[in-house]
Amino acid sequence: MGDMEDPDRRGDHPNPSVVSLLFNKDFVSSRKGQLLIGEVASSFISFVCFCASSAAAFITAPLVFFLSALFLLFAYSTKFNQRFKGFHWPLMDFLRCVSASIVFFIISIMAVSKYPDGSSKAAGVFGFIATIVFALDFYFIFNELAAFLKGGGSHDEPQNTQEAGSDSDSD
């Protein structure tokens, strides 16, 4: 039996349930993946700065938006959104980005103007960076949703959830 092993037992074919949990490298290198990584990083840094500042009353918003961006990064990169059709993912993502942009902008203004310590100022600055990243994301999502709705709005989701290898930004 030495050379006649079963190919499934050799380890050449990984377990499909494990493969479904691995990140898609194509998605992480795409524009949407980069924006989600930026959202995760900026909201986490803002959260840490708010924890260390006298403006600690604002830690809930960066934590919630950090966790939601982290969840969507996981969902899109493992293609969970294609297996779970319970939500209209681009619309949910759009509403998340709009609300995050508004909330980060408000708490950043308050942190910079009302609290004198350096960590509050840093939290405000990273909050403004998060505002910009979330605003860019909702701008691109809005353009994709508008193009989707102009095209007739079938039951399939817009370009946002398709394979990251497709070149949808070429004009």
Q: Identify the pLDDT of residue 79.
A: 83
Ordered DSSP codes for 18-80: HHTTS--HHHHTSHHHHHHHHHHHHHHHHHHHHHHSS-GGG-HHHHHHHHHHHHHHHHHHTTH
How many Å apart are CA 27 and CA 55, to the nearest integer?
A: 36
> What pLDDT does residue 15 have?
59
Which mean pLDDT values do the consecutive 10-residue runs of the chain (171 residues) have? 51 55 72 91 94 89 94 87 80 92 95 90 94 94 86 59 49 47
CA distance 65 to 70: 8
User: pTM of the predicted model, to two decimals?
Assistant: 0.73
Instruction: Report how far residue 155's alpha carbon sits from residue 137's, in angstroms, rounded to the nearest whole number.
Output: 23
Contact by Cβ (8 Å): 159, 166: yes
